[in-house]
Structure 1
Amino acid sequence: MPFQYRLEHEKRSPWQRVRDQASHFSTKSPSRFAVGIFTGIIALWTFLFMLPAASADGQVTPFADALFTAVSTICVTGLAVVDMATHWSVFGNILVFVGIQVGALGVLTLASLLGRVVTRRLGLRQKLLAASDGNPLRTHAGPVAESQAVKLDEVGGILATAAISLVTIQTVVALCILPVFLATPGYGTLSAFIDSYYYAASAFTNTGFSHHPDGIEPFQNNIWFLGCLCGAVFLGSLGFPVIFALVRRLRTKQRLPIHAKLTLVTTVLLFFIGWVVIYLLEFDNPSTLAEEDAWFRPITAGFMSAMTRSGGFSTIDIGHMNDSSLLVMDMLMFVGGGSASTAGGIKVTTLAILFLAAVAEAKGASDIQSFGKRIPVDVLRLAIAVALWGATIVAVASILVMQLSGAEFKYALFDTISAFATCGLSTGLTQEMPDSATYILTATMWLGRVGTVTFAAALASRHKRQLYTLPEERIIVG
């Protein structure tokens, strides 16, 4: 048998051998496979961005700038160290557009789709990879209760939802904002269509790249345009599992799972809280809201609150906002959007679980409950781990950025959180940083998009079973 196996192995083509190796690696370590694929795409985009054909002036883009742009694009962050409207050629803009589409699918969803191409079918391996994008608990060894995760029989539907919604929602939003560009002097039909689809894709993927040198400032008073961007950002930040659940609800009247309910409630609640707080803190700031008409100030405040979901667009100069407003936006950006979405941050469900745990502890309840369901302890442990590691990454990166760039704490913290949460909002610091600080934010964006849980699982060599239990002893907390 071994000899026969070797003969069969030698008869295989090089492509079949590569496919077998990829299949084996994805089975042995799904998280490492996903991180490897994602990092490989970033490396490829960095090389392509450095090509003279990618820049408008035909010059080679410096490595630090190309790497930062590649990570910002694939991680759908939206931060930039070059003028995205004028630096890149047509080829460079195509790279940006394709990159944000690739990044919008997510690390593990992308890996599962690539695995399907390799193995020519959507088997258990690819289903597990895709399900891990909706539930990081699956990146660890051991059984996972289907009531706590994206069910394997739903993975095909979620992948189809991701692909269809990516095209459909962007197209609908592009058609909605197309009249805005057609009514703008100097726009032809083709350029208007290109720009409308560019902004629609940038909004739905929560990237926030602008196709104009002055951003969206020319449309800052156009309520229809701002509303379309907010709608696209909101849908993109919900996550593909939630969109799938909503579509299934409309078709079959099936009840929404608790994940979808928590995501929707927390997202809407944070949006309105941010809207009110930002307005109250900025309505008399002469450098931001106070320079606008009184009736339009609440609209701008609501738009900025929506962008903290990870949208990245801005109609005001963030660097001139009050320190209190910056801190509020820091907190909103750190939370981000929904799990398995185009948004970043620690995710709204993570915040919801931590809040529900605090409420349960205050009530003296033994279980965490929500919408008539009990949430298991392992989900709470995961939420604590995500929040703690996210805060650690932001703290370390902020210190390094301050040290290397000499920036003030409030600016370094804001741009670092924006990088970690793949938000794209900036105080202007990223365009002024030295290369050393740029590398720090590059790594922060990568960690924020890959996900702390996925990264930790990728570093773990293997799962170790402990066949004994240590004696219990309580400590004083609080």
Structure 2
Amino acid sequence: MVATGFGATILLGSVLLSLPMATTTGEPADWVTALFTSTSAVCVTGLVVVDTATHWSVFGEVVIAGLIQVGGLGIMTLATLFTVLLAGRLGLRAKIALQTETKSLSMSDVRRVVRNVVLFALAGEAITAVLLTGRFMIGYDESFGDALYLGGFHAISAFNNAGFALWPDNLMGFVSDPWICLPIAIAVVTGGLGFPVVFELARSWRHPRRWSVLTRVTVGVSVILIASATLIYLATEWNNTRTMGALDDPGKLMASFFAAVMPRSGGFNTVDIAAMNPSSMLVTDVLMFIGGGSASTAGGIKVTTFGLLAFIIWAELRGENKVNVGHRRLAEATQRQAVTITLVGVALVTVSTYVLLVLTPYSLDRVLFEVISAFATNGLSTGITADTSMAVHVLLAVLMFVGRIGPLTLGSALALKERTRRFELPEERVIVG
């Protein structure tokens, strides 16, 4: 149901973007371009094969913003919301479908969960839009209408971790402007935490001891990743004149923090990604693959999965047969799910990278970067996607689709198919390592 919902929305978006009125020239976009852009928008990725600002008309940009909004909230969440509004009640099948998309921790009061998810998303986007609109009016002399359009579009794109921007160089023109960079970065982080985590923080942010394992791992790992990445980018790009070297010290700090936040699945950039040092690109690869929080608008294998793997490794190194997170024991089924999702992700990235290396003349670091960005629905790019062939565009579109719904549906399927074996086989120790 999730895959069908996303697929149908992508096809609808492709049809709308292929209309003559969707482009600035008045000529219909070719089908692959429309399909790629629609997939990137619905899967809240941000990779593009044509410049969003110059190729698409206002109608096309509005369609893209609408697809981002639908993809961010989740097709199943919207469908169930309409069911509530029209029928006034939810059946068991609809409840299960909704829980699959939002990963609600409980099936009780599903209608309240849906309402809170929608209201929270709209409120976050509205606050970000107000801040950006004011800045565009005051700092860049935009008219109220233009400023509101720019603020609203980028607020939707930021909160949903989409990375679409209405400038050819993304946000590089605002690299030192905290009134643009900080609202967008905060929106990306908030949207990437995940709805269950945000709701729990809103209820008990003063009492960390009461937080669930999901909230503890998501918040803890997110803080560690953003802080460490900021320091790494500062160190590796400090003297790189093609990225941050020409900025003053506060500008470098701002650019480093922004660059550390965006691999969570934000997709915006204020420095030239292709000009980064190889070490910085490698760090970005890792951050993109990890992604954001579970049940969020972010992609990747999720910080929860990464954090649980760290606890599993730590328990194994200490020789403990149980994995404990805080004052809770981690279920063995959850451990297997985390390992499975990670290894499947590694396999998809590896195979796709090999295929793209065969189809393109680009180096491994650039191809790997584009592949991880597509799989993690991130949107950061070294600029090679637009110059590749139609076959590569189709492959990346498929990878974006799989990356968006893959971890979601795979995790749900593993949880729903858990069963207890009624017999045990004789144990045998195998040499490992």
Q: TM-score, normalised by structure 1?
A: 0.85
Does 1:450 find its partner at 2:405? yes
Does 1:216 find its partner at 2:177? no
The alpha-carbon distance between structure 1 residues 180 and 202, as it changes in their structure 2 partners (threshold 3 A), is same
Question: Of 372, 379, 383, which aligns to 1:424?
Answer: 379
Take 1:259 and 1:413, find their aligned partners in 2: how far apart are those partners? Answer: 30
Structure 2 runs not aligned, ≥5 long: none
For 1:324-371, what per-residue CA distance to the aligned partner results, in whole angstroms no more than 9, with x for missing partners? 110010000100000010000000000011000011111122211112
Take 2:127 and 2:144, find their aligned partners in 1: how far apart are those partners? Answer: 17
**Alpha-carbon contact 1:133-1:340 (below 8 Å) kept:** yes
Question: Of 59, 82, 95, which aligns to 2:63?
Answer: 95
Question: Of 363, 370, 374, which aligns to 2:318?
Answer: 363
| CA deviation after TM superposition for structure 1 residue 52, in Å | 1.0
Partner residue, 1:375? 330
| CA deviation after TM superposition for structure 1 residue 104, in Å | 0.5
Structure 2 counterparts to residues 164-179 of structure 1, below 5 A: 164-179=119-134
Does 1:52 find its partner at 2:20? yes
The alpha-carbon distance between structure 1 residues 404 and 115, as it changes in their structure 2 partners (threshold 3 A), is farther
RMSD of equivalent CA atoms: 2.5
| CA deviation after TM superposition for structure 1 residue 252, in Å | 11
Take 1:41 and 1:424, find their aligned partners in 2: how far apart are those partners? Answer: 19
What is the one-letter code of the residue matched to 2:363? E
* Count of matched residue positions in the alignment of Structure 1 and Structure 2: 433
Partner residue, 1:138? none
| CA deviation after TM superposition for structure 1 residue 110, in Å | 4.3
Structure 2 counterparts to residues 131-280 of structure 1, below 5 A: 131-135=99-103, 150-153=105-108, 155-249=110-204, 255-280=210-235
Partner residue, 1:66? 34
Take 1:322 and 1:53, find their aligned partners in 2: how far apart are those partners? Answer: 41
**Alpha-carbon contact 1:337-1:345 (below 8 Å) kept:** yes
| CA deviation after TM superposition for structure 1 residue 254, in Å | 10
Take 1:302 and 1:253, find their aligned partners in 2: how far apart are those partners? Answer: 25
Q: TM-score, normalised by structure 2?
A: 0.94
**Alpha-carbon contact 2:308-2:335 (below 8 Å) kept:** yes
For 1:140-188, what per-residue CA distance to the aligned partner results, in whole angstroms no more than 9, with x for missing partners? xxxxxxxxx7111153333222100111011111111222110244511
| CA deviation after TM superposition for structure 1 residue 439, in Å | 0.9
Does 1:125 find its partner at 2:93? yes
Partner residue, 1:387? 342
Take 1:118 and 1:366, find their aligned partners in 2: how far apart are those partners? Answer: 51
**Alpha-carbon contact 2:337-2:411 (below 8 Å) kept:** no
Partner residue, 2:263? 308
What is the one-letter code of the residue matched to 2:4? G
| CA deviation after TM superposition for structure 1 residue 212, in Å | 2.0
**Alpha-carbon contact 2:51-2:168 (below 8 Å) kept:** yes
**Alpha-carbon contact 1:52-1:59 (below 8 Å) kept:** yes
Take 1:234 and 1:111, find their aligned partners in 2: how far apart are those partners? Answer: 26
Same amino acid, percent of matched pairs = 36
| CA deviation after TM superposition for structure 1 residue 108, in Å | 4.5
Question: Of 286, 289, 309, which aligns to 1:354?
Answer: 309
What is the one-letter code of the residue matched to 1:287? R
| CA deviation after TM superposition for structure 1 residue 133, in Å | 3.0
Does 1:477 find its partner at 2:432? yes
What is the one-letter code of the residue matched to 1:372? H
For 1:312-332, what per-residue CA distance to the aligned partner results, in whole angstroms no more than 9, with x for missing partners? 111111101111110010000
Take 1:289 and 1:332, find their aligned partners in 2: how far apart are those partners? Answer: 20
The alpha-carbon distance between structure 1 residues 201 and 93, as it changes in their structure 2 partners (threshold 3 A), is same
**Greater Cα radius of gyration, structure 1 or 2:** 1
Question: Of 350, 367, 370, which aligns to 1:415?
Answer: 370
Take 2:311 and 2:404, find their aligned partners in 1: how far apart are those partners? Answer: 25
Partner residue, 1:85? 53
Structure 1 runs not aligned, ≥5 long: 1-32, 136-148
Take 2:32 and 2:196, find their aligned partners in 1: how far apart are those partners? Answer: 35
Aligned with 1:183: secondary structure? helix
The alpha-carbon distance between structure 1 residues 368 and 458, as it changes in their structure 2 partners (threshold 3 A), is closer
The alpha-carbon distance between structure 1 residues 44 and 117, as it changes in their structure 2 partners (threshold 3 A), is farther
